[in-house]
């Protein structure tokens, strides 16, 4: 029986006190016996936390007492075991690294994020082959190549980037291919697309949307419709199927720090995809 509650959430909102907040959240998570990772920066918060349902929800309730995080809405999934080895709370320059300082989403101000499309609307568009204006719809995967190899939307554009900071240059090299189309960018939970969609609009693409809640929200709403394979996650579960069930039940601080998981990532892409189908 799956008894461990896993949550993921992010918010782009000014946190000038990120360092003080780090110490507070580290102590609170330790008291509640939680494990996972929380990244803080002046631009916001990005968290992945797991533990007992009571402890996790108490932690979220405490986060929401900060007015800046009052509307934080985590995505939930379950696992048999704790998927993390320890609790990491770090302060970074960016909660998702793009290396473009001018790309600064900010949920606290009007127009502080790119427009989005919800999961059910995207499925309807993919069913019919176009958006509600008749414009062709393409999906653009903003994740790293090895993540894409676990699974993606059928026919999704994949530029085989190895880190998100490569996305801007990749976009500039393929911009012309996306004109006159409705481009829906997507990633695991949505955070990368917050920046990717803004960058694409600044590059002159006017019909760009981000998938609200990412792949995991799409799975929650639509299962595996128009999706082939699993969704890689950076913890001991390795990947989640469209029914949000974990492929593995190990534990990991982060994928790069877990030797077993790192070994799996070195397998040929064809073998990983075969296991996803």
Do 272 and 187 share a domain, yes or no? yes
- The pLDDT > 70 percentage for the chain reads 89
Do 265 and 204 share a domain, yes or no? yes
> What does the pLDDT look like over 205-250, one tens digit per residue?
999 999 999 999 999 999 999 999 999 999 989 999 999 998 876 6
Residue 99 lies in a domain: no
Choosing from 187, 193, 231, 273, which is the catalytic residue?
Answer: 187
CATH number of the domain where residue 32 is located: 3.30.70.100
pTM for the model? 0.86
Residue 239 lies in a domain: yes
| Number of domains observed in the structure of the chain | 2
Of the listed ranges 79-83, 113-117, 190-194, 272-276, the least confidently predicted one is 272-276
Q: Which are the contacts of 46, defined by CB distance < 8 A and separation ≥ 6? A: 9, 10, 38, 39, 95, 96, 191
Residue 230: predicted pLDDT: 97
Residue 190 lies in a domain: yes
Residue 102 lies in a domain: no
Do 76 and 171 share a domain, yes or no? no
Do 33 and 163 share a domain, yes or no? no
Residue 101 lies in a domain: no
> What does the pLDDT look like over 49-104, one tens digit per residue?
999 999 999 999 999 999 999 999 999 999 999 999 999 999 999 999 999 988 99
Do 178 and 223 share a domain, yes or no? yes
pLDDT: is 37 or 268 the higher one?
37
Do 34 and 133 share a domain, yes or no? no
Do 212 and 256 share a domain, yes or no? yes
Residue 111 lies in a domain: no
Do 52 and 179 share a domain, yes or no? no
> What does the pLDDT look like over 90-135, one tens digit per residue?
999 999 999 998 899 999 888 889 999 999 999 999 999 999 999 9
Residue 104 lies in a domain: no
Domain boundary among 40, 75, 91: 91
Instruction: Please indicate whether residue 187 is annotated as part of the active site.
Output: yes
Average pLDDT over residues 1-13: 92
User: By residue range, what is the domain housing residue 34?
Assistant: 4-91
Do 87 and 130 share a domain, yes or no? no
């Amino acid at each position: 029986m799956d008894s461990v509650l896993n949550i993921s959430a992010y918010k782009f909102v000014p946190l000038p006190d990120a360092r003080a907040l780090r110490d507070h959240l580290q102590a609170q998570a330790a008291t509640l016996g939680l494990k996972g990772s929380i990244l803080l920066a002046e631009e916001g918060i990005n968290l992945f936390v797991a533990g007992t349902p009571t402890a996790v929800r108490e932690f979220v309730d405490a986060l929401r007492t900060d007015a800046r995080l009052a509307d934080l809405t985590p995505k939930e999934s379950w696992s048999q075991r704790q998927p993390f080895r320890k609790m990491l709370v770090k302060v970074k320059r960016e909660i998702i690294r793009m290396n473009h300082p001018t790309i600064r989403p900010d949920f606290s101000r009007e127009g502080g994020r790119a427009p989005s499309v919800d999961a059910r609307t995207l499925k309807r568009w993919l069913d019919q082959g176009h958006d509600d204006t008749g414009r062709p719809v393409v999906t653009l995967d903003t994740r790293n190549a090895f993540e894409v190899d676990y699974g993606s939307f059928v026919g999704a554009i994949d530029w085989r980037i190895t880190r998100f900071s490569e996305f801007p240059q990749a976009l500039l090299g393929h911009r012309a291919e996306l004109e006159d189309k409705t481009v829906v960018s997507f990633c695991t939970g949505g955070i990368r697309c917050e920046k990717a969609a803004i960058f694409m609009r600044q590059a002159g693409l006017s019909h760009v949307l981000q998938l609200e809640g990412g792949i995991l929200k799409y799975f929650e709403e639509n299962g595996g419709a128009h999706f082939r394979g699993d969704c890689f996650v950076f913890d001991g579960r390795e990947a989640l199927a469209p029914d949000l069930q974990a492929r593995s039940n190990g534990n990991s601080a982060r994928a790069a720090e877990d030797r077993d998981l790192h070994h799996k990532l070195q397998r040929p892409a064809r073998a990983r995809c075969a296991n996803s189908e």
